[in-house]
Amino acid sequence: MSDCSGSSSNFGRLLILLAMATLIGPNPSYGHNGAVAVAHPAQGIQIDGDLSDWPNDLKTYPIAQVEAGDKLAGKDDLGAHFRIAYDTREHALYVAVEAEDDSVVFDGPAEALWNTQDGCELYIDAAHAGGESLAIQYGRYGNQTQAFGPSDDLVKTVKVAVARTGRHVVYEWRVDLGSELRADRSIGFDVSVADKDEDGSFSWIAWGKGTQKLSLPDRCGEALLVSPETRFGEVAGQIEWRVPSQSPLPSRVRIQSSRNARLWREAIVDPTGVYKAALLPAGPYQVGPVDSAELRVDETSHVEVQVEADRIANAEPLQVTPIPWPGLIGSEGVLLDPDALNPSEIDRFVQAYVNYYKIPGISIAIIKDEKVAYHRAFGVKNTATQEPVTDDTVFEAASMTKPVLAYVVLRLVDRGILNLDTPLYTYLPYEDIAHDDRYKLITARMVLTHRTGFPNWRTGKLEIKSTPGTEFTYSGEGFVYLGKVVEHLTEKKLDAICQEEVFTPLGIEDAYLAWDERVARAYATGHRDTLPLPKNKVEAPNMAFSLHIDAQNYAKFLIATVQGKGLSEQTSKEMLRPQVQVPDQKRVSWGLGLSIRETAGRTSYGHGGKNPGFTSRSAYDKDRRWGYVFLINNESADEIENVLAAYLISGKSVLKPDQK
């Protein structure tokens, strides 16, 4: 799935960026999706859509993973494959993509190009530095070429020609990789084809598994740049703890050439500790464990192995050593002791776990007695610049934006401007879903309790997956529609409405719903683990994901919301009343825009968020008047929330034995 929509000035806008904007999601480790292609040298290739000047003996690779959008109607709907070559003299990587498509659409609108017409995308991590480099996305959408990544002039490094004969479409690419284009090495690589049909359906297929390949380079495959004479072998081995441990073993090992640091692969380790990797150029390698935020291990240990052509090389057992937890969590949470909230001790705790989980930066607030009792910022805005996070640094709150719209809606309900159970179409018809008459059932209550039947985000045209009001289906699309209704009823823009209804009356400063010069001065950069990602500069408010804020100001909002400030007593009770149970989560339900969690007889209200490169959490116990908010600029919120909740509330009894 493309990470990009529209022009490079609104990189990552709206739809695809937010396929990840869920409450909770896994933090992947560096690696690959398992797809491997072999690129051989070639000379004299002209980028003109005519492939007659390509070598005849290059292998073709199918592009067949249907990862997003509608299912293909059949083998005639879409089929595609590619071949790949390189020229070290020209510093050029060449890719020829051929598609058979029974319905070609090349004339979509200028905006939101990627899912409105046929297209082809390349993803290239040329440095392939193992967690220290970014992927670049090159896209050809209809008649336009675009490039997305850390630089604004990337489009200058790519040339693509498109040729169509009937249902046969050719995308011929040349990408200038500069000094990174060298033989006998590997690069991160993937390719996808987008198919918009005249009936309105849309499908997105890729060579390697996974979407979001730009912001998640480990979802790319890789290309081996070798000579035709290169011979390949395999490696097999096993890893084990140096000292017996109950912890699961690391999930990956890295197999790196002893001759060339840019020639490496990662192999998945099965639950018994066994790993295998094929298609390795013959030569000496080192095998070592892969450290990750989920399981910290000492990466200095390794074993040597010699790969021989057409044989399986069995490596010696690899013994690994875990990096121990910092500890620092008592038998009881510090919030239970009225005298135990020591700022210097909290500083020590937060810093220790930020270091342990390799989190670039965090903004954290702790609530006690209905007030923000502690607020600090740690780490850096950007690991490349090392600029420190400060108290006024704003982070992407992601889905923690949604309660802000819920609060606005309830303020309008109190004034009789909007009714929770009146179908939204009576206020404002929605052209995007007008093809399904069931949308006329959707109400504000259904949006706020995630029962619209919408998907989280569309990947083609917007569809209703279940009859509105019948099932819990977490959805950002519903909040987009409700935001449009609010703008229509108030005749004001969302940023002005939120300022008037939320931020100003609640005394919240430095809260922004779209990219502007104020955000530009104070924003934290998102990271994938410790790797900076390009900034998504959202040009207009989106009430599902676009809030930028720090933890202290969000904590002010959360306290006021749960305490019912600015709302009538009836409306406040309705907001906090459990209205829908989350499937497969007995202790989790939803009120109006807030998640409700029952833990050990305690009820907390809050929300979480996840955008590419950012995660956040908030929780507030109304009865005990305590809680927390934190925002971080990578995707390790699960780990931090686990230890933070234990430190503040539950104590170490809830942790695993080796985490205490």
pLDDT for residue 91: 94
Query: Under CATH, domain 232-320 is a member of which superfamily?
Result: Carboxypeptidase-like, regulatory domain (2.60.40.1120)
CA proximity to 449, closest of 425, 426, 436, 468? 468
CB-based contacts of 357: which residues, under 8 Å, 6+ apart?
293, 636, 639, 640
Distance, in Å, from the CA atom of 592 to the CA atom of 448, rounded to the nearest integer, reads 5
Distance, in Å, from the CA atom of 648 to the CA atom of 47, rounded to the nearest integer, reads 61
Mean pLDDT of successive 10-residue stretches along the chain, which has 660 residues = 38 35 34 84 96 94 88 83 96 95 76 75 84 79 83 83 93 93 91 88 89 77 92 96 88 92 89 93 95 85 96 96 89 83 94 94 96 96 93 96 98 98 98 96 98 90 94 96 98 96 95 93 90 85 96 97 97 96 90 92 93 94 95 92 91 71
What's the first-to-final CA gap in the chain, in angstroms?
Answer: 40
Same fold across 8-225 and 232-320:
yes
Distance, in Å, from the CA atom of 245 to the CA atom of 259, rounded to the nearest integer, reads 34
Q: How many CB atoms lie within 10 A of CB 581?
A: 14
Distance, in Å, from the CA atom of 78 to the CA atom of 80, rounded to the nearest integer, reads 7
Q: Are 642 and 634 in contact (CB under 8 A)?
A: no
Domain ranges of the chain: 8-225, 232-320, 383-635
Task: Name the CATH topology of 8-225.
Answer: Immunoglobulin-like (2.60.40)
Q: What is the 3-class SS of 340-391, one letter each residue?
A: CCCHHHHHHHHHHHHHHCCCCEEEEEEEECCEEEEEEEEEECCCCCCCECCC
Cα 328 to Cα 348, 447, 632, 656, distances in angstroms: 9, 41, 21, 14
Q: pLDDT for 217-256, tens place per residue?
A: 778 898 999 999 999 999 999 999 999 887 889 988 999 9
Q: Are 295 and 248 in contact (CB under 8 A)?
A: yes
Strands (E) in 282-332, as ranges, are 283-289, 303-307, 312-314, 318-320
Angle (nearest 5°) at CA 88 between 158 and 184: 115
- For 120-172, the DSSP string reads EEEEEESS--SSS---EEEEEETTEEEEESS-TTGGGGEEEEEEEETTEEEEE
Q: pLDDT for 127-160, tens place per residue?
A: 876 656 678 899 998 888 888 876 667 888 999 9
| Domain over 383-635 is classified CATH 3.40.710.10 | yes
